[in-house]
Amino acid sequence: MKVVIIGGVAAGATAAARIRRLDERAEIVVFERSGYISYANCGLPYYIGDVITDPEDLTLQTPESFFSRFRVDVRVRHEVTAIHPDRKTVSVKNLELNEEFEESYDKLILCPGSKPTQPRFSGLGQEKLFTLRTVEDTFRIKEYINRRHPKSAVLAGGGFISMELAENLRKLGMTVTIVESLKQLMSPFDPDMAAFIHSEVRRHGVKLKLGHTVEGFQERDGGMDVLLKGEPPLHADIVILAIGVTPDTDLAKEAGLELGIKGSIVVNDRMETSIPDIYAAGDAVQVKHYITGADTLISLAGPANKQGRIVADNILGGDSRYLGSQGSTVIKIFDLTAATTGLNETNAKKAGFNIDKVILSPMSHAGYYPGGKLMTVKVVFEKDTYRLLGAQILGFEGVDKRIDVLATAIYAGLKATQLKDLDLAYSPPYSSAKDPINMAGLLIDNIAKGKLKQWHLEDASALPLDGSVTLLDTRTAEEYAGGHIDGFRNIPVDELREHLSEIEPQKPVYVICQSGLRSYIATCILEGSGFTAYNFSGGFRLYDTVVNDRYLIETATACGMDK
């Protein structure tokens, strides 16, 4: 059997290696348009910033090493220009020799990936305007920086590539501005969680232009003007366009394959396309969302590798199935780690779920062990059923392992209340006896049992200030003096019992503290004394970050967690 693979990065290289492991006699040919295979897309910005200094570290395999290990015929700088399903061949152009030929196949695997989205802006194609997708793109940017020594950069787009580039360009001493048409960076995160990302990048000197639309580019004074809708242009020495990716599926369209969202390739759960003996995997395919079951696009390395393996299994007579993408991601943003899995609150509501949520600020490890940092954990679940829908975590250590636990819990179908029961590893340098995941589960269990009533950030502006409710801030006097919500009275939680007679029992009490812990204790005191009390989810720390754009890397003591 002869298998031809178009694209040799994540899905394509995985499929080729898996086919060889399953069948020593199969003939495997990989055509890759660029000069590199199996390269680390996610590492490209770190080469630009000199974190990765050896260019060979960007490639996990070379055509020679791949042939030596797997006897796979890898042909780089070969572009497939057409697919002919009727005669089971592909047209190929050797880009170095400018020669064209046809290659036959028994099975064809399409792994073309995605390409940078480029709307019809004016001024595209100029020397100082870059995109970042391939190793060659990385070398072009790096060579230009080394040769011209630019002092400023504008990044058009506020997604993963821009976040990583912002950090690395700042390390090179450049002034960096990010322009994003949305009101927030990093759309996989809800606006309240993205506020922590905004504060972190601003803390490191990155300028943000949120809610501004790029309309084009123009050379001026040795640099580039980024033209904005209804705003004066931004000027910089270089501009990198990173407004998203689009499935690279022109070949599939011309071959008559069924296409889906944004021109992506439609496949079934066996990764089979609409034409027999043609399979597809990676960023170019439309998949099912694991939670909603709806068609979606999720361009991530993990799903691409899984899909490549599934294709190989099925080509060789197996019956492997892709169950859907959950969207689990993690990213380093300067000192901050940001991670998400499943649906955020915004998308869960769009999908029609009746949701609830908890937001908490636990320590990364035991508070009495030195060096702990707070993290912000948001868990989204379905009301009544308590089905886990998604989670987001931001912090400075221990974020990645917690998001993986939550991703596993979602995949396994655990209810949000069952998070309290997970038996997770504990040692003071790494965690607490009640891990942050357990703590989220305990909060949700309290909600399920009617022991906790919450109010949220979106409720703050609607709280009446006419005295019909009691607004209570249970932090210390010093914390209160450092910033508080207008209308809230300060009674520290440890003094609350002595002041209960001053609170009118017929009025509901809305309580807040720095992180949500002391205010929860206050609601227990109040409920136990006959009041109706609501705890603010996320604490003043969340409110201050979102509303006032103020954020510090806080320790336990700074947040009163030692109280």
The candidate with the shortest Cα–Cα distance to 365, out of 432, 311, 312, 417, is 432
Indicate the pairing of strand 2-6 with strand 27-32: parallel
Amino acid at 168: N
The candidate with the shortest Cα–Cα distance to 329, out of 340, 318, 321, 337, is 340
Model confidence at 59: pLDDT above 90:
no
What mean pLDDT do residues 137-152 have? Answer: 95
The candidate with the shortest Cα–Cα distance to 322, out of 340, 339, 302, is 302
Provide the 8-state DSSP code for 264: P
Confidence of residue 364 (pLDDT cuts 50, 70, 90): very high
Predicted local distance difference test score (pLDDT) of residue 559? 43
Predicted local distance difference test score (pLDDT) of residue 562? 36
Q: Which of 136-140, 276-280, 381-385, 486-490 has the lowest mean pLDDT?
A: 136-140
The pTM of the full predicted model, rounded to 2 decimals, is 0.93
What mean pLDDT do residues 461-471 have? Answer: 94
- Cα–Cα distance for residue pair 262/297, rounded to 1 Å: 9
Model confidence at 558: pLDDT above 80:
no
What mean pLDDT do residues 435-464 have? Answer: 96
Provide the 8-state DSSP code for 346: H
Predicted local distance difference test score (pLDDT) of residue 394? 97
**pLDDT one-digit tens code per residue, 218-235:** 999 999 999 999 999 999
Strand residues in 284-335 grouped as ranges (E): 285-288, 295-296, 329-333
- Cα–Cα distance for residue pair 328/338, rounded to 1 Å: 11
What mean pLDDT do residues 287-312 have? Answer: 95
Model confidence at 556: pLDDT above 70:
no
Confidence of residue 553 (pLDDT cuts 50, 70, 90): very low
Q: Which of 42, 513, 524, 559 is catalytic?
A: 42
Question: Largest Cα–Cα distance of the chain, in whole Å?
Answer: 90
Model confidence at 41: pLDDT above 90:
no
Assess contact for 536 and 510: CB atoms under 8 A: yes
The candidate with the shortest Cα–Cα distance to 236, out of 282, 178, 301, is 178
- How many CB atoms lie under 10 A from the CB of residue 59? 17
Query: To the nearest whole number, what is the mean pLDDT of the chain?
Result: 94
Residue with tokens 């630009």: 48
Return the half-sphere exposure (C-beta side, CA atoms, 13 A cut-off) of residue 387.
13
Contacts of 543 (CB under 8 A, 6+ apart): 457, 460, 485, 512, 536
Residue with tokens 């031809």: 4
Confidence of residue 557 (pLDDT cuts 50, 70, 90): very low
What mean pLDDT do residues 182-187 have? Answer: 96
Predicted local distance difference test score (pLDDT) of residue 560? 42
Model confidence at 384: pLDDT above 80:
yes
- Cα–Cα distance for residue pair 543/473, rounded to 1 Å: 13
Q: Which of 27-31, 410-414, 429-433 has the lowest mean pLDDT?
A: 429-433
List the structure tokens of 513.
């503290």
Predicted local distance difference test score (pLDDT) of residue 443? 97
Contacts of 73 (CB under 8 A, 6+ apart): 27, 28, 29, 30, 67
- Cα–Cα distance for residue pair 238/225, rounded to 1 Å: 9
Query: Residue 534: which H helix or E strand, with range?
Result: strand 533-536
Confidence of residue 55 (pLDDT cuts 50, 70, 90): confident
Confidence of residue 551 (pLDDT cuts 50, 70, 90): low
- Please write down the long-range contacts of 195-198, taking CB distance under 8 Å and 24 or more positions apart: 195/545, 195/546, 195/549, 195/551, 196/336, 196/338, 196/376, 196/394, 196/545, 196/551, 197/163, 197/333, 197/336, 197/338, 197/394, 198/549
The candidate with the shortest Cα–Cα distance to 254, out of 101, 82, 86, 92, is 82
Task: Answer yes or no: 42 catalytic.
Answer: yes
